[in-house]
Amino acid sequence: MKLHILGIAGTFMGGVAALARELGHAVEGSDQAVYPPMSTQLEQLGIALQQGYKPEHISADCDEIVVGNALSRGNPAVEQVLDDGRKYTSGAQWLSERVLPGRDTLAVAGTHGKTTTTSILTWLLEAAGRKPGFLIGGVAEDFGVSARIGAGREFVVEADEYDTAFFDKRSKFVHYRPLVAILNNLEYDHADIFPDVAAIQRQFHHLVRTVPRRGRLIVNGEDERLSEVLAMGCWTPVERFGLEGKAGYDWTARMIHEDGSAFAVVHRGREIGEVRWPLLGRHNVMNALAALAAANAVGVDVATVLPALAEFRSVKRRLEVIGETGGVTVYDDFAHHPTAIATTLAGLRARVGSARIVVAMEPRSNSMRLGAHSEALAPSLNDADAVVFLHRPELAWDAGKVVGGLRGEGVTVPDADALIAALRERARAGDHVVFMSNGGFDGAPRRFFAALRESPAR
């Protein structure tokens, strides 16, 4: 079968492309925003991709069109597919029909931490010899790809609450029908499609409804909104995790290092081992607890796989170190919600102590661009000593108010070139410069690092 994937450079659709190729299908695709790491993965897989959504980019001999959720009515390629009466489907439906049948699916849902938790869980199953399949919303450093079919029974999927496609407005995760579902957390996001938190909670409850009674729900016990979801009805055994040590948590952690780089895992009051790993932050300890609980739910002796976390390398663009030059360390991070920004910076602050943290911020997600998080943005940057805020002309709200509310220094710039120049003026030896965006950021992280190498900071 030959597939054309519309939106192929997206983190999810790029994974679908990799799975389809591994299954022996011919794959081509098109997109309008192509940048690493997904563009690199597609290139390495030998998948041809066209820039832009032109109808002529879809080969006449394609048997099926897989449509990404970034495309809507009015898109030239979509309109041509409909006019021609061609067979089309969504990425989530394609996955549910072509990959997941006969597998034990483990789905990782939540506003934050999905990609990292999916990667940790996959790594634990790999360490246990399970040879899992997976689809991760990013390129996993430990596997070199974002998706693979796998030779084992388990398939781990990052379960997104965003809608499926222009013709299917359900959340993607309702297609997966998992045996085990992780509910990491729930906050307001995706302001372009959800009017309020209650609307997101309803979608999460749709996911809860699909988990069989022989399965397991792994739920953040500290999250009241998830408790409200379960109160709508629950037919599956629940295991809760958290750091506060409240009665009723099945999985907790005893922090050894404040920065989250070392902790002990406690299961129902019994300490089963310690983890010392490269990741930082309280949020990543929570991600690890969720992944360990899910692995345990499918029969893994987690005490035997804890040592594997010392070698875990996470996912590209999750506080990924681009490099260090002239005493300045440069990071690329995907954080695009105030909570994720705050927790990421808190983990880094615990690691670097009093060293300066400089943030380059691009408000790129739909919720960010709509201003849904504008009031929470300045407080989320409290651990930064300086912020260079990319205020593109099309941003619909005044970023100056955010900059004015910062604890540290702040400045707005109109484009990536000005951002790099502003960072060059401010960076000095000993600084940690963190680029935060869920888009390509015009290649700014690596461009800035290259500029530093040519002309070191003061």
Q: Among candidates 348, 347, 405, 346, which has minimal Cα distance to 379?
A: 405
On whether both 305 and 420 belong to a single domain, the answer is no
**Which tokens sit at 349?**
């602050």
**Last residue within a domain, chosen from 90, 121, 138:** 90
Answer for the pair 320, 331: CB distance below 8 angstroms, yes or no: yes
On whether both 158 and 303 belong to a single domain, the answer is yes
On whether both 268 and 325 belong to a single domain, the answer is no
Q: Which one is predicted more confidently, 347 or 35?
A: 347
Establish if 292 belongs to a structural domain: yes
Q: For residue 61, how many other CB atoms are within 10 A of its CB? A: 8
Mean pLDDT of 395-412: 74
Q: What is the pLDDT of residue 333?
A: 86
Mean pLDDT of 283-289: 93
On whether both 358 and 289 belong to a single domain, the answer is no
Q: What is the pLDDT of residue 392?
A: 77
The residue type found at 292 is: L
On whether both 293 and 235 belong to a single domain, the answer is yes
Q: Among candidates 238, 326, 330, 328, which has minimal Cα distance to 290?
A: 238
Mean pLDDT of 228-232: 97
Establish if 95 belongs to a structural domain: no
Percent of the chain clearing pLDDT 90 (strictly above)? 57
Which backbone phi and psi does 156 adopt, to 5 degrees? -100, 130
Average pLDDT, the chain: 89
Q: Is the pLDDT of residue 425 over 90?
A: no
Q: Is the pLDDT of residue 368 over 60?
A: no
The residue type found at 15 is: G
**Last residue within a domain, chosen from 311, 344, 370:** 311
Answer for the pair 319, 434: CB distance below 8 angstroms, yes or no: yes
On whether both 24 and 143 belong to a single domain, the answer is no
Mean pLDDT of 208-232: 97
The number of folded domains in the chain is 3
On whether both 274 and 374 belong to a single domain, the answer is no
Mean pLDDT of 186-209: 87
Q: What is the pLDDT of residue 338?
A: 82
Band (43; pLDDT cuts 50, 70, 90): confident
Cross-strand partners of 217: 181, 238
Mean pLDDT of 437-447: 82
Q: Is the pLDDT of residue 3 over 60?
A: yes
Q: For residue 428, how many other CB atoms are within 10 A of its CB? A: 14
On whether both 302 and 325 belong to a single domain, the answer is no
Residue 332, domain CATH: 3.90.190.20
Residue 75, domain CATH: 3.40.50.720
On whether both 209 and 336 belong to a single domain, the answer is no
Band (279; pLDDT cuts 50, 70, 90): confident
Percent of the chain clearing pLDDT 70 (strictly above)? 93
pTM for the full model? 0.79
On whether both 348 and 268 belong to a single domain, the answer is no
Domain of residue 325: give its range.
320-454
Residue 219, domain CATH: 3.40.1190.10
Establish if 154 belongs to a structural domain: yes
Q: Is the pLDDT of residue 249 over 70?
A: yes
CA 270, distance to chain mean position in Å, is 31
Establish if 450 belongs to a structural domain: yes
Q: Is the pLDDT of residue 397 over 80?
A: no
On whether both 284 and 337 belong to a single domain, the answer is no
Band (396; pLDDT cuts 50, 70, 90): low
Establish if 235 belongs to a structural domain: yes
On whether both 36 and 178 belong to a single domain, the answer is no
Band (415; pLDDT cuts 50, 70, 90): confident
Q: What is the 3-state secondary structure (H, E, C) of the chain?
A: CEEEEECCCCHHHHHHHHHHHHCCCEEEEEECCCCCCHHHHHHHHCCEEEECCCHHHCCCCCCEEEECCCCCCCCHHHHHHHHHCCCEEEHHHHHHHHCCCCCEEEEEECCCCHHHHHHHHHHHHHHCCCCCEEECCCCECCCCCCEECCCCCEEEEECCCCEEECCEEEEHHHHCCCCEEEECCCCCCCCCCCCCHHHHHHHHHHHHHHCCCCCEEEEECCCHHHHHHHHCCCCCCEEEECCCCCCCCCEEEEECCCCCCEEEEEECCEEEEEEECCCCCHHHHHHHHHHHHHHHHCCCCHHHHHHHHHHCCCECCCCEEEEEECCEEEEEECCCCHHHHHHHHHHHHHHHCCCCEEEEECCCCHHHHHCCCHHHHHHHCCCCCEEEEECCCCCCCCHHHHHHCCCCEEEEECCHHHHHHHHHHHCCCCCEEEEECCCCHHHHHHHHHHHHHHCCCC
Q: Which one is predicted more confidently, 47 or 192?
A: 47
Q: Is the pLDDT of residue 372 over 60?
A: no
**Last residue within a domain, chosen from 69, 90, 111:** 90
Establish if 210 belongs to a structural domain: yes
